[in-house]
Chain A
Amino acid sequence: MDPILSLSHLKKYYSDQKAVDDISFDIQEGSIFGLLGPNGAGKTTLLRMITGIFYPDSGNITLDGKAFDPINDIQKIGYMPEERGLYKKMKIGEQALYLAQLKGLSKADATDKIKYWFKKFEMESWWNKKVEDLSKGMSQKLQFVTTILHEPKLIILDEPFSGLDPVNANLIKDEIFNLAKKGSTIIFSTHRMEQVEEICDQIVLVNLGKKILDGTVTDIKQQFKENIFSIQTAEAISLEENAIFSVVSTSNHTTLVKIQHGYKSNDVLAYLLKEKIEVVGYNEVLPSLNEIFIQLVEDTHSTTRAFQPL
């Protein structure tokens, strides 16, 4: 299957730094894609190029099999920026209508769709309220609705859950899965790793303008696993380091061991059986994305910048 979005050798340099430095990756249609990176890694610049706000200095963006055309392809994209904003003094219904019309929807079409989504998200009574009367979470829901209203093929969400309570976060999460099931592709930018593990099919990690990781969540975990296994025993034991494994930590009935080079997991089990240790649980411990993220970012000596690049 052809990817819906394909970036090749994308570059954007500012006078004082390389914000995006030769990044390439593909996103499959219908997938939920995580774009990760610390603050100032170049995520926002990358997203702004994908949404046509910025032009890349060099490189190509291919959307839906054709070269990306920022003017006409805008309708295929829904973008919810990290720093969200709405007109405070405008009525909610009018605001949603205005944003939908800017995306090219006709007034009647937009009205129908807004009614549908407002009903679905239990926002019908909000129509004549002003944004300044809404709580942060409520305006977030409104922003989400305005982003997906025109049924874009590509939905870009920058930190969609920040400020949402668990109930509303779940509502939006379910909707993200729903949209993906219906064929929309979702780019999801965040630095909340537990959400990424839960939601994303594929991730790319960028830092200092470069891509440092690309793959599915399971692949990446496999790639970064350190052969650590957790052994749960019926009684508290104390194992000694030996040729097969070293002990990482021991707590009560659980011991973490790291298998030495050249051995397999069954070798550990065989050792335990031979030592007549009552094993009640045995499983591999994969690193969390969070650990991988921190490890990779610290390796590259990234400095977090407080300001957006110039």
Chain B
Amino acid sequence: MNKIWLIIQREYTTRVSNKRFLLVTFLMPILIVGLIAASAYVSVSGIEHRKIAVIDPNGFIQSALKNSEQIEFSFPKDVDTNNYKEKGYTDVLIIPKFEGREKTEYILRSKKSMGLMLQNSITNKINNAIEDQMLQEAGIQQNVLDSIHTASQFAELKAYEDKGSSSKESNAGLAMGIGYASGFLIYLTMFIYGTMVMRGVMEEKTNRIAEVIISSVKPFELMLGKIIGIGAVGLTQFILWITLIISLTSVASNFLPADIQQQVTALQQNNGQMAAGMANASESAKQIYAMQHTFATANWPLIISCFIFYFLGGYLFYSSLFAAVGSVVNEDAQDAQSLLFPVTMPLIFSYIITNMVTQNPNTPIAFWASMIPFSSPMVMMARIAYGVPSAVSYWELALSMGILIIGFLFTTWLSGKIYRTGILLYGKKPSWKLMIQWAFKKS
């Protein structure tokens, strides 16, 4: 036991004190936050500006084509397809005379081709204008039409889940997001730490240090020590990431203007309404409040503890398989590739199922995939995000956890058997038949 502890310590300290570990751990959250900020910045500032000359013989479309940040519409008389560039326009839009209800086309001529989103928005505007025109021709008043347009933007779905007597606000969008993020994170870490274990085993084997160590400790202890040590590295990394992300977001919120912060606090105290006598909250304060409110609907303690359980369970399940693969191959990376295939296939397949489950947490395939230990760490996390016990009942969760524990005990035992023989074997790659023989022969 004491020796396993020594091995765990070595695996852990050599990796954690590595410069690359520190770099990855501290740069990753900054990179992610930076990436989000950069893409937000690009989407705001990177918009191209278009100046479109419209030739419209109908007259009623002009009012529908309102200028936006991106597009400036104008309706000059003397512009045609030949001279729009000289007149300083980027595009010219030629709308035919609409008569009757025949399908017709309008033409856009551009200096540079226009993106699909912009094209669609222009088409929608024109079609809406035509629709309105037709409604008016059918006898509906303009002011009636306007009031209908505003009304149609007012309804919003608010879903609640019933838990006994109390009901709680639920949010499918958030559940999907959490489910997808945690499933993806587990998928990613299985790969990263699994290959880390495999490389570690291969290093010991090709360096021939395995034989020195195995003359001091049992092969199983060496394998277990490595798996636990690297698992602890993974856990450390997660904890550091969570702390970093929390502190980064709290630092970021300090940059909010003071009045907005006050408004957000006021909204929190009054359940989303501004108290009487106070000024109306600004749009951004409302958005921030809505975001916080939505986040609060998720059961974070449960999600985080389940995440840690499924991360560790899945890691133990897969990493021992990765260790077994590492023990039978030599320096040849190609051998590793072909042997890894049966290990990585279920991982990739589970990830695909996870994607489906994030939208539909209660299909039969979701149920079975959250029981089978090959896929349960990812799929169950996607389901848990929808709530326990509303989407996943307690017995399902307990059963899935139990099977995962049995599963990783089994794979560790099996891999230990293959590892014990493989680690001392040099030369050609053993066949599958031989590996199965090792796994099931008596010690």
Contacts and interface: CB of A to CB of B under 8 A. Distances in A.
B216 interface: yes
A85 B428 contact: no
A85 B427 contact: no
A98 B6 contact: yes
A99 B437 CA distance: 32
B427 A308 contact: yes
Given A86-B207, A87-B209, A90-B14, A306 B443 contact: no
Interface string A69-88: 00100100101110111111
A164 B211 CA distance: 21
Contacts of A87: 14, 203, 207, 209
Nearest to B441: A15
Interface in A61-116: 71, 74, 77, 79-81, 83-90, 98-99, 101-103
A167 interface: no
B14 A89 contact: yes
Interface string A31-55: 0000000000000000010011101
B424 A48 contact: yes
Most buried by B among A48, A85, A307: A85
A85 B434 contact: no
A85 B207 contact: yes
Given A99-B212, A99-B216, A310-B434, A83 B424 contact: no
A89 B18 CA distance: 10
A103 B212 contact: no
Contacts of A79: 211-212, 215
B10 interface: yes
Nearest to A48: B424
A308 B426 contact: yes
Contact of A81 (B208, B216, B428, B430): B208
B319 to A, nearest CB: 20
B427 A51 contact: no
Q: Is the interface of A mostly helix, strand, loop or mixed?
A: loop
Given A74-B216, A98-B10, A83 B427 contact: no
A307 B428 contact: yes
B327 to A, nearest CB: 14
B77 to A, nearest CB: 77
A55 B442 CA distance: 11
A83 B330 CA distance: 14
A90 B7 CA distance: 13
Nearest to A150: B216
Contacts of A99: 212-213, 216
A310 B215 contact: no
B3 interface: yes
A49 B97 CA distance: 96
Contacts of B430: 310
Interface string B410-440: 0000000000000011111010001001000
Nearest to A143: B212
B275 interface: no
B427 A102 contact: no
A102 B424 contact: no
| Residue from B204, B207, B428 with most neighbouring chain A CB atoms (10 Å) | B207
Interface string B157-175: 0000000000000000000
A308 B425 contact: yes
A84 B208 contact: yes
Interface in B1-48: 3, 6-7, 10, 14
| Size band of the interface chain A makes with B | 20 to 34
Contacts of B399: none
A102 B213 contact: yes
Nearest to A79: B215
Given A55-B443, A307-B427, A308-B427, A88 B207 contact: yes
A301 B175 CA distance: 73
Contacts of A71: 218
Contacts of B7: 102
B93 interface: no
B217 interface: yes
A101 to B, nearest CB: 5
Contacts of B437: 15
Interface string A231-248: 000000000000000000
A258 to B, nearest CB: 45
Interface string A290-310: 000000000000000011101
B340 interface: no
Given A53-B424, A307-B428, A310-B430, A85 B6 contact: no
A79 B211 CA distance: 9
A85 B211 contact: yes
B3 A85 contact: no
Contacts of A143: 212
B434 A81 contact: no
In this complex, which of A86, A101, A102 has the most chain B Cβ atoms within 10 angstroms of its Cβ?
A: A102
A306 B215 contact: no
Nearest to A54: B424
Contacts of A98: 6, 10
A9 B208 CA distance: 29
A137 B434 CA distance: 37
A310 B443 CA distance: 15
B202 interface: no
A79 B208 CA distance: 13
Interface in B210-238: 210-218
A52 B215 contact: yes
Contacts of B213: 99, 102
A259 B6 CA distance: 65
Interface string A201-242: 000000000000000000000000000000000000000000
B211 A103 contact: no
A143 B10 CA distance: 18
A85 B214 contact: no
A103 B216 contact: yes
Contacts of A90: 10, 14
A52 B207 CA distance: 21
Closest 8 pairs between A and B when the two form their complex, measured CB to CB = A85-B208, A307-B427, A85-B209, A85-B207, A83-B208, A102-B216, A79-B215, A81-B211
17 contacts: A48-B424, A53-B214, A53-B424, A77-B215, A83-B208, A84-B208, A85-B204, A85-B208, A86-B207, A90-B14, A98-B6, A99-B212, A101-B6, A102-B217, A103-B216, A306-B427, A310-B425
Given A51-B215, A86-B209, 14 more contacts: A15-B437, A80-B212, A81-B208, A81-B215, A84-B208, A85-B211, A87-B14, A88-B207, A89-B14, A90-B14, A146-B212, A307-B428, A308-B425, A308-B427
Interface of B: 3, 6-7, 10, 14, 203-204, 207-218, 424-428, 430, 434, 437, 443
